[in-house]
Each structure stands twice: as C-alpha cells, then as structure tokens.
C-alpha cells in the first residue's frame, strides 16, 4: 500500500475557493489545484464549487464547501515559524487582512475563522532553555503579547 501523505480538509460555508486564493497569495511555495464542482445530483446548486485543492508552503489542503453545520475553533491551528520580525509582521498582517481577529501569544483568527500561530523560531529555543529563569522570563513576556515582538522577547529572556 502506498500513501500520498496527509491532506488537511478545511470545512467552509461557501468560501473555500476564496480562502484558497487568499492563502496561496500569502505563502511562498503555494499553488491552486483542481476545483470540483457540484453536478445536478447536488449537494447545492449545479456548477457551484464543492471542493478546491491547494498547497501552501508545500502542505496539501482541500477546501470543502460543506455548509454552516461546522465552524472553525481554536482547538486546531496552523503554526508559522518565522525567521525574523519582518516575517512575523508580514504573516500577522496578511492573515488579519479583511476582518481577522487578534488574540494573544502570537495567535490570531483569519477572516474565515481559521486559527494561526505566528511564532518566531527563536522563541521555541527560549522557552525550552534549561535555565528555568530565562525560560520563565521569555514565557511571561510572550503571555503579555498579541503579535510577538522578537526584540522584547529577547530582552526579557536576557533579563534586561
């Protein structure tokens, strides 16, 4: 038996194609794939988008226009590990564009309700530091932020 790996299916209420275009416009190494439309057999009006395949950062997704029965929540999120503040700022702004919602500790919801964590790579090393005082300072700083600020995290980590 062979496997094509995993594909994440995101359930939308009519916005799957719009969301796919939005995500592909934000991330490098991204592209749209096939679009499946409903037939006269349904569900929904014939010719409307049922599924759209897309890839962002090399990860395969399917957007499914499944209806209003299920909505996104924070129990599932996508983590974006960023090299620098410019990358943090870019992803934070792009994902909030058009009606997203800021949260805390680097979390946000985009305009479709999908949760994202925009994380500086350096933060993972700080909070995992064997020096518990340094790790605690970095963690406290992170807990006080919405969008993560690398300079402020590093300053707290150093105890400055």
Return the HEC string of 30-99: CEEEEEEECECCECCCCCCEEEEEEEECCEEEEEEECCCCCCCCCCCEEEEEECCHHHHHHHHHHHHCCC
The predicted pLDDT at position 150 comes to 98
The predicted pLDDT at position 160 comes to 83
The predicted pLDDT at position 5 comes to 83
Taking phi first (over 0 means left), then psi (-120 to 50 degrees means alpha), and beta for anything else, what does residue 47 get?
left
The predicted pLDDT at position 35 comes to 97
Same domain? 21 vs 83? no
Whether residue 43 is preceded by a cis peptide bond, meaning omega within 30 degrees of 0, is yes
pLDDT in tens, 50-108: 999 999 999 999 999 999 999 999 999 999 999 999 999 999 999 999 999 999 999 99
The CB-side HSE value for 107 (13 A sphere, CA atoms) comes to 13
Same domain? 90 vs 54? no
pLDDT in tens, 13-58: 999 999 999 999 999 999 999 999 999 887 888 999 999 999 999 9
Radius of gyration of the chain (CA): 19
Q: At what angle do helices 85-96 and 150-158 cross, to 10 degrees?
A: 130
pLDDT band at 1 (very low <50, low <70, confident <90, very high): low
Same domain? 87 vs 151? yes
Q: What CATH number does residue 146 fall under? A: 3.10.180.10
- Cα 73 off chain centre by: 12
Q: Final residue of a domain: which of 45, 70, 95?
A: 70
Give the residue among 36, 59, 30, 60 at the shortest CA–CA distance from 48.
36
Does residue 107 contact residue 77 with C-beta atoms inside 8 Å?
A: yes
Neighbouring CB atoms inside 10 A of 140's CB total 10
Domain that holds residue 146: 72-160
**Count of domains forming the chain:** 2
Same domain? 133 vs 89? yes
CA dihedral 142, 143, 147, 150 (to 10 degrees): -10
């Amino acid at each position: 038996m062979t496997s094509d790996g995993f594909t994440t299916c995101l359930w939308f209420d009519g916005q799957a194609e719009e969301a796919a275009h939005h995500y592909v416009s934000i991330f490098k190494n991204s592209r749209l794939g096939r679009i499946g439309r409903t037939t006269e057999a349904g569900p929904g009006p014939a010719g409307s988008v049922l599924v759209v395949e897309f890839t962002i950062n090399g990860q395969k997704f399917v957007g499914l226009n499944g209806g209003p029965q299920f909505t996104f929540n924070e129990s599932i999120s996508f983590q974006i590990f960023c090299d620098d503040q410019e990358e943090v700022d870019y992803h934070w702004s792009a994902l909030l564009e058009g009606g997203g919602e800021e949260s805390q500790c680097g979390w946000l919801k985009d305009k479709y309700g999908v949760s994202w964590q925009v994380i500086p790579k350096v933060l993972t090393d700080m909070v995992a530091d064997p020096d518990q005082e340094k790790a605690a300072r970095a963690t406290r700083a992170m807990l006080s932020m919405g969008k993560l600020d690398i300079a402020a995290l590093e300053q707290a980590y150093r105890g400055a």
